[in-house]
Structure formats: C-alpha cells, structure tokens
Structure 1
Amino acid sequence: MRTLYFDCFSGISGDMVIGALIDAGADPLKMEEELKKLSMDEEYTLSWGKVIKNGITSTKFDVILTSKSEQPHEHSHSHEHEHSHSHEHGHSHSHEHEHSHIHEHEHSHGDVLHHHHDSRNYKQIVEAINAANFNESVTNMSLAIFKKIGEAEGHIHGLPLEKVHFHEVGAVDSVIDIIGTAILIDQLGIETVQSSAIPTGSGHIHIDHGIYPVPAPATLEILKGVPIGSNDIRSELATPTGAAIAAVLAERFGSLPAMTVESIGYGAGTKTFENHPNVLRIIIGETQ
C-alpha cells in the first residue's frame, strides 16, 4: 500500500501540507493548472520556494491574493486568521495561521488586501467544487474536508451546515489549500494516509469574537476523536484547515508505521521557533 504519513511534530496547517507535498516531489505546476477549473485564478497567485527553518531545508507555499479580490480590509479575522500571542520569550510571535503569508503585504500595500468573501458560504463552495469537474478522488477528498470544517463551525455557532457562512473556508486561500492538497495527494498515487497525534499548541489567540484559548473552538471540534499531542509551545500550531485535512484523510493515528520509505517532504510554517524547526514532515512509502 502506498502510504503517506503526516509527522506533525510542530502542528499542521494547509500551507504546510502543500509545502510538504511539493517538497516530497509532487508537481505544483500541474496543481496550479488543475486549480484553474475553479475559475478563481484571477483572484490569486501561487508561490513556492525553498526556505531554511532551524537548519532544515523545507518548502514554503503561499497563496497571494491579487487586487481583483480586493475588499475593505477589516482587522478582525475569523478562526483561520488568528493572531497567536506567545509570551514565552516576552514578545509576540508572527502569525502562524494558514494565511499569514499575505499579512506582511496587506498592512503595507493597499493593493493586496485580505478579503473575506462573505458571499461564499458552504453551499456555494460545494457547488464550485462539483462544477469544476475534478476527478472523483479529488472531489470526494475536497468535499469531505470542507464538510468537516463546516460541521464544526455550524456546531459552534448553532447553525445548520447549509447556513454556515464562514470566512476561513470562504477565503480563496483556504479553498486553494484544501483542494490543492487533494490534487497533490491524488497525483502522488497515495492509497492510504496515517498521521501522528496532532499537537495544538497553547496560549491565547484573537479571533472575530474576542480572545480565545488555543486550540480555537473550531479546531478542537474538528479534532474530536483524534489524538491530540501535548507540547508547551505557547502558540497556535494546528489551524482548522490543517486539523481537518488530518482528521478526514488519516485512517489511523500513531507512530510511524513499518514502511519502505520512498520520499520525504518538509513543509514550512510561517512562524519560527527558537528550539525546534516549525515544519510539517511527510513520509511516503510502501507499507505491508
């Protein structure tokens, strides 16, 4: 069985997953081409490249929103756009959430704004995925991950799934992170996925509704039934999108299975920590 293992020693987010898959040998240009089926490509550009995180060469993947996706910038962000406050070293770390990669632009350039796409709700995203005519595997993976996040948000806010309006899944970059992950996993011919326990981090974050504990309510809801790892990092390590990718795709959680390793990939997170590399490792190989 061709198996992919998520080694989440520093958490998991959508952009870390895609970075790791590219690093392990998946083709980002084919993914970029396939994503055009969504007819959203005027709203973003993709970038990826090698970075070094605490001595480990890894791949950083970014979704950069274009001015075509411009909307009035608000400073309140939903769960996926959380500011992680870390006090371990007496200062606040940069954002770890999936979408931190555009924040450095957004505060300094008027033309690159993070838009919230309030008009894209769960139902519209499902329709967009179905209309895109991806292959069955990519469609099913994408829909299952979105459903997991949608149900968690609906549960927290007391809404039925079809009424869930939520920025983090409506935002273009989350759509890309989730569907891009499905495209690359399909491209790599993965038959089964396993994962380590998911460390969530600790501390507090700012979201739309105020200051919340880590893990954020949506993330914790998504990780019901999934082993959560503990560590003392005061920062958000698992985002809702990252948690949902692992929760939906992994058939079992535990230590690395016996396998003949074929390829390894490191996907970089946005933050840098003092004592360990903030990367997601994926290991692909044949299991019995």
Structure 2
Amino acid sequence: KKLSLDMFERIARAEAKIHGKSLEEVHFHEVGAIDSIVDMVGAAIAIDYLKVERIMASPVQVGGGFVKCAHGLFPVPAPATMEILKDIPIKSGLVPFETTTPTGAAILAANVEKFSDKMEFSVERIGYGIGNRDLEVPNVLRVYLGTAADGLDEIDEQYILETNIDDMNPELYSYIEERLFEKGALDVFRTPIIMKKARSAIKLSILVNKKQAGAVQGVIFRETTSIGMRKFRVEKIMLQREFLALPTEYGEIKVKISYYEGKPVKYKAEYEDCRNAAVKNQVPIVTVYRTVDQEMEKRTRSEK
C-alpha cells in the first residue's frame, strides 16, 4: 500500500506543480485511467512479493516526437513525465514516439535506487513485457532478478541528516520516526547529548538515499521543533544478502543470510515471522528462534 501511494503521490505533485495548484486541487489526467491504476498497484504488489533488496535500472528512454495531452500537443517527454524524472538520468530520440509515460516514470522514480547501464550482478531469472506498438527497435521491457556478483560487497552512497532538539515533547519521537520511515528513511536513531548551558537534548539522525532526502527533510521541518539540520554524504558498505524461506515445525520462517567474500558468515531470522509463528503456535518466541538455529545448523552440515 505504501509503495503504490508513493507512486500516486509523485504524479499528483508533478501535476500540481505544472498547473500551479495545491496537491488537494490537482486533477489527474493520466493516473485516473484504470490501466494506470492497475500498473502502479500491480508494480507495488510485484515488488512486495519478490522481496528484493534493491532495484536498479538503466537510464530512462523517453522517446521522441510529440504527445497529445489533456491541454494540447506537447513535445516528448510530457510535462508531468519530465517533472517526475527530475534528477534521474534519461535518454531520448530512440524512436519518434513516447516511450515513458507519467505512470512509468512514477514507478521508476519511486522504486529504483540506482540508474546505471552496468549490470553488476549474476542473473537468475528474466521476465519480458511486450508493447502493442510495432517499432523499428524491439518494444520490450526486460526485467532481471539476480544477486550481486560473488566477492563484491555493495557500496552505496547515502546521506545522514542530523538535528539537535532540546525543546520538543519526548512523546512525539515515536510518531516522527514512523513518519520518517514512511517517507523513505533507511534508519532513524536518537542519541542523548548535552548542549550549551548544560541543556539536555536529543540528536536525531536519519540515514537516507538521495532521492528520499527531500521528503525526509520535510518531515523534520514540519513535524519537529527543529529550525536547521546538518547533511553530509556517507558511503555505506553492505554485505551481500539473500533471503531463505526456512521450513520449521512452526511454519515457514524467512531468514536473511549475509555473505563475505562469497561465503555465508551470519544469518538472522525475520522478527515478524518469528513473532507470528509464536502467536499462532502458542509458544515462546525464543523457542521459535531456537528452532531456526537448529534448522540452520542442519542445513549447514548437509551442505558440507
């Protein structure tokens, strides 16, 4: 639900800016069509179902020529499409037709973490989507499902946003953290600090990708008492990960396995799965975790 709403909101904000209206006043020309709604909700369901760690895409090919919009004929890309694709690498002119609609742009902008022509992963599965229009080049969208190449840890450029707060009701922090995660924060943490004149305060720190930084910044300024923040770039190095659906006597538990130099070095059972299994089977949650450990040990021995 959150993913699909994020896509809808991107189109709404683009339409609002183009027409000089507020978000509440905007009229959806593109997203009101049933096929557009199905596309965005379907994309959100697919992403949630696949449980991928990150999504990458090639620079966006927008096409060329002209497109008829609700307010007349416009050059490709359409105004809403271009507004949504700001700060995203694009290519144009491959064919004299529109190849990226506002709906497609919103799906990419809301979900893709990195745009690059490089394929730095090993492909496990391939999917194709074929368009109806016959073009000089294949009218095909190709999607790969894969894992990062062995021996390569993921290095991702992200940002830390920080602000010191000494005059806010502490009860509000849990609500603000929820709002930050809704807007795309990757991590949120609080550090007790002592400011000048011995004032007790909280340093609120948020880890975020570049494309979500603006939305997260908006939460800080609208929802907290802060009037300023620090922003600095960080490089995050992550172990390669894969998810395993582990069968146990309490049901299937999702386990995240981390790899270093191509070898598994640690694993962690997903808390929500363990919690749900404990509630369903009326057993202590530590019993579920213990069972996962036993099953993982059996799996490790069988692979040797």
Instruction: Report the TM-score, using the length of structure 2 for normalisation.
Output: 0.47
Q: Greater share of strand residues, 1 or 2?
A: 2
RCO comparison, higher one (Cα < 8 Å, 6+): 1
Largest Rg, 1 or 2? 2
Instruction: Report the TM-score, using the length of structure 1 for normalisation.
Output: 0.50
